[in-house]
Structure 1
């Protein structure tokens, strides 16, 4: 048996061979055609909500990010005394802002403030464990960036996504270029959509259609997300981390990963891609290929002792330092931003 893992928690799947005979037998060809038809037919069986209409301007409160539709999402901020740059961080599947609890203090000491929010359906945000849908997740990211820009109109802003969070970042950037001075992709979860075996996709669509609320756990999983066992134990005990994953949420993240993969071939910008050579969750060759598909100024860093949760690994010092160095170097070369209106410069005017 093999396992599919999202963040620290894994879902069991059958081992599927990625090799194929150059000449498929007739029954194999028919089987694949039937599977493709089944996957396509079931594609619309499980649907997710569209983004709710905006009812106001997004804003940041003490420990809450208020989205444009009024939803109150969990927020954690690690502030630098005199920030030279800001990172807007987006967590991965089943995780929340706590994913950056070891990385952000390090960055704060080096002059980088980190804002991290809990995506809908995760952490302290409403409807924990329920998949909110890609449109809402991408809209929340845009609103989050806009809210940070209003509060810090002169500070360079970098958007970082880890795992599934990187897919949200890339997919949103594909829809419309993000208002960011650079993008950091940490262990991007680019293993979904057409990148997954056809049999697995068809089976997942069928299972999510028949029993969307059935939950799966990673108790018998065989893959490791990090070598920092204390951090993994803390995640397991943390009520803000989802332990039991609904089948429809699995389908949702697989589709989101597919969006991220597709976007990697169409987006351009200033990118830093970091990942671990020991990533046991996302195939390293997929991450490497996605990085090569990006356009613009792209820097890639691979860490021999790095795992999927490389921002929390025991050897996290190297990637954390590289991210800080990359962001601060670009912050130095960015011209000061100018607020277009007085309300943007001072957002709390009466």
Structure 2
């Protein structure tokens, strides 16, 4: 009886904490205008301005179009080298600062997974209008990959002929030890505005040291993260893994064997979640020398060539020779 009383008291305290210190989410507001594309921004229907960078071929309509989504705490500049390379090969690229990151509204505050997915849907709509009749692909790096999956599997998916998922962040609660889940929940509901950094963890995201040092100096990259934003990210990763079973278009999954952020088993689980028909039309590449930031690693040009080849011939083998049909990798997991 005494133990039951203590449990009841503890639960009531947790409920009180949850009500008083709930994680902050800043979703999109009500629609007040039509979404629009300008030279340096995408304006969403609630009037939010999402800063935009673009890399366009020198003349004429592109052979294909890519919408690139950055990772957690990053911003649109992540695609600069890739976009410059692709433009030389006739591919137009667009990358915008996702809500809560870079120069977008409510920097540092989690916008909610539904808002991130809807922003992508609107971006694809206005960019497709600029390039009618051209194949359009969505490329997501890390968190951006999770957003791409969630949007593509939604009831109103964005316009897209295929997905490119670079080290997609799909390491959700189901793959984490229970104590990590509990610790994160308690932290997010007791000190949601608390800040955490990655310093001292010994995690390396790339073998490109000058690039990593430049990121450390870049004021647009978030260095200290709100705990409730981390909580939101884990929820997004969870939802993306579950949504993978509804992807219905060709998908290219990229992962590096030196990735210290997304485990190999998680990527194999993602591939196993793909519907059978989607897996047959999709490919996966496990780069022997790749890290988490594949598009900015020292061997990034190897990745660029693979992506460009896949855009033209998604069913064929890739130049690196490190790819396999998605279904084959999933079966061996």
Q: Tell me, yes or no, whether TM beats 0.5.
A: yes
User: Residue 198 of structure 1: CA displacement?
Assistant: 1.4
Q: Which residue of 2 aligns with 1:209?
A: 189
Q: Which residue of 1 aligns with 2:37?
A: 60
Contact 1:160 1:185 in 2 (8 A): yes
Pair 1:67–1:190, CA change in 2 (3 A) = same
Q: Work out whether 1:255 is the aligned partner of 2:239.
A: no
Contact 2:174 2:238 in 1 (8 A): yes
Contact 1:52 1:136 in 2 (8 A): no
What runs of 5+ residues in structure 2 fail to find an aligned partner? Answer: 1-9, 315-333
Total equivalences in the alignment? 296
Pair 1:218–1:282, CA change in 2 (3 A) = same
For 1:264, what is the secondary structure of its paired residue?
Answer: helix
Q: In the TM superposition, what are the counterparts of 1:52-201 in structure 2 within 5 Å?
A: 52-81=29-58, 82=60, 83-176=62-155, 177-201=157-181
Aligned-residue RMSD, C-alpha = 2.2
2:205 alignment partner, one of 225, 234, 245: 225
Which of the pair is proportionally richer in helix? 2
Contact 2:120 2:158 in 1 (8 A): no
Q: Which consecutive segments of 4 or more residues in structure 1 shift more than 6 A? A: none
What runs of 5+ residues in structure 1 fail to find an aligned partner? Answer: 1-33, 331-350
User: Residue 178 of structure 1: CA displacement?
Assistant: 2.8
For 1:65, what is the secondary structure of its paired residue?
Answer: strand
Q: Write the distance in 1 (CA, Å) between the matches of 2:93 and 2:57.
A: 8
Q: Work out whether 1:283 is the aligned partner of 2:267.
A: no
Deviations 1:88-112 (A, max 9, x none): 0111100011111121111111111
Q: Work out whether 1:323 is the aligned partner of 2:307.
A: yes
User: Residue 161 of structure 1: CA displacement?
Assistant: 0.7
Q: Write the distance in 1 (CA, Å) between the matches of 2:23 and 2:102.
A: 23
Contact 1:276 1:302 in 2 (8 A): yes
Deviations 1:24-48 (A, max 9, x none): xxxxxxxxxx99xx89x96994352
User: Residue 292 of structure 1: CA displacement?
Assistant: 2.8
Contact 1:42 1:205 in 2 (8 A): no
Q: Write the distance in 1 (CA, Å) between the matches of 2:42 and 2:27.
A: 20
Q: Which residue of 1 aligns with 2:289?
A: 305
Deviations 1:207-243 (A, max 9, x none): 0111111111122121100000111111111111100
Contact 2:30 2:46 in 1 (8 A): yes
Q: TM-score, normalised to structure 2's length?
A: 0.84
